[in-house]
Amino acid sequence: MQTLYLGLLGSALLAPAAAAQTFVPARSVRDQVELNARINLLMRADFRAQSVLDASEMPGPASLTQLSLRYDGPSYSPTGGTLASFEVWLAPAAVAANASSSYFAANHSGALTRVVLATNLNFPADTLVDPSPWGGPTGAFTLPFSAPFAYAGTGLVVELRARGNTNSGTNAANGHFDAEFDPLNGPSDGTATPNGAGCRGAAMTVSGRLAPGSSVSCAGTGLGAGAFVVNTLGGSRTSWLGVPLPFDLAGFNAPGCLVHNDIITDLRTLADGNGNVGAFGATTWPVPPLPSLANVRLQFQMLALVPQVAATNNAEVRLGTYRPLIRGYATHIHHADADAAIASYSGPIVPAMRFN
């Protein structure tokens, strides 16, 4: 039994026919029989979780009217809690799960439709060893839709969004949702190694799975309040167009500030009022799900240009590996923001779902 503390529930999905029920993954049809994984959803204050499901994961066209999730415990020190809001959104998928991206908007075709808006949703403690009945012990996660959703029988995107969780926090491991995970396929984490020095107090860190089919996120500090920031991506830290690296920016009135990579391309944003650029925002780089990118080395740095020049350290990322998905599902999650544009986790996992 594998427990995945994704911090966030990977979103859910799809498809019953008329008065029938549809189970995703199909094995979850077995009542209160666990799958091979579980996701701890209810330990984050806010989250956005999007599952991309291929048509192979569910039957043909149907009118969807309800979604149910189920616990898979036990938790330690189980307690219940309240979600200020819990939403379910659906849309046709624009891509197959195997080609889905950490950019949420790239995965659905047309606008998402909100089918559930539950406010002040009270959920109970998770005390059972085996999966709970569908909906949880009290039925809190049996979620009727505000209107039927016409599923056309193609790929489907299902999103779960939550805000204001009173049970959030790393010591509140409560509410494991039953899930299926493919441990042999999808992204395998890469590595990041900082190198070179920053100047004027600027520094950069890198996070994410750092692998094809996922993303590389750069975050900066000490860049200057409201500074115009360029996040560079390079392939070398030894030479740039024949010029040896690192390159000193003394000619730009910034002696001791160094350019560390050869700047193939860049992302641009503004620092906040404290001079910071947060992770999994505008300086997040999606990595295509291509096995050929395994072990590729990439260079990242941040340069602040206005109001004064500042430069961070460099970071070398060695991408992990990627094996194409066998099952037709993938889930993308941001662990802290229900309105995030980019996921902080991507992987071949899907929560157990029942659609009516």
d(CA 90, CA 112): 5
* Better-predicted residue by pLDDT, 153 or 4: 153
- The reply to whether 239 and 260 lie within a common domain is yes
Same domain, 139 and 237: no
- What is the pTM assigned to this prediction? 0.83
Question: Any bridge partners for residue 22, and if so which?
Answer: 355
In this predicted structure, the answer to whether residue 17 has a pLDDT above a threshold of 50 is no
% helix / strand / coil in the chain, to the nearest 5?
A: 5, 45, 50
Q: Give the pLDDT mean for 178-199.
A: 93
- Same domain, residue pair 314 and 341: no
Percent of the chain's residues with pLDDT above 90: 70
Q: What is the mean pLDDT of residues 233-260?
A: 95
Judge if 266 and 329 occupy the same domain: no
Yes or no: say if 349 and 340 are a contact pair by the CB < 8 Å rule.
Answer: no
Looking at the fold, whether 48 and 173 belong to one and the same domain comes out as yes
In terms of domains, do 272 and 310 share one?
A: yes
| Mean pLDDT (the chain, rounded) | 88
Q: Which residues of 243-272 are buried (b: 16+ CB within 10 A; e: fewer)?
A: eebbbebeeeebeebbbbbbbeebbebebe
pLDDT at 58: 86
CATH code where residue 237 lies = 2.60.40
pLDDT at 183: 85
47-84 residue pLDDT tens: 999 999 999 998 789 999 999 999 887 666 667 889 99
| pLDDT 10s digits, 77-101 | 667 889 999 999 999 999 999 999 9
Residues 239 and 293 in one domain: yes
Are 269 and 342 in the same domain? no
Task: Please tell me the predicted confidence (pLDDT) of residue 177.
Answer: 83
Number of independent structural domains in the chain: 2
* Per-residue pLDDT at 26: 81
Instruction: Let me know: does 320 contact 187? Beta carbons within 8 Å.
Output: yes
Do 153 and 219 share a domain, yes or no? no
> 107 and 178, same structural domain?
yes
Residue 4, pLDDT > 60, answer no
Task: Decide if pLDDT at 257 tops 90.
Answer: yes
Same domain membership, residue 306 and residue 328: no
Q: Is the pLDDT of residue 119 over 60?
A: yes
Residue 154 has pLDDT above 50, yes or no: yes
Residue 18: pLDDT over 70? no
Task: State which residues form the domain around 96.
Answer: 2-185+324-355
210 within 8 A of 298, measured Cβ to Cβ = no
pLDDT confidence of residue 32: 66
Within this chain, do residues 81 and 21 fall inside the same structural domain, yes or no? yes
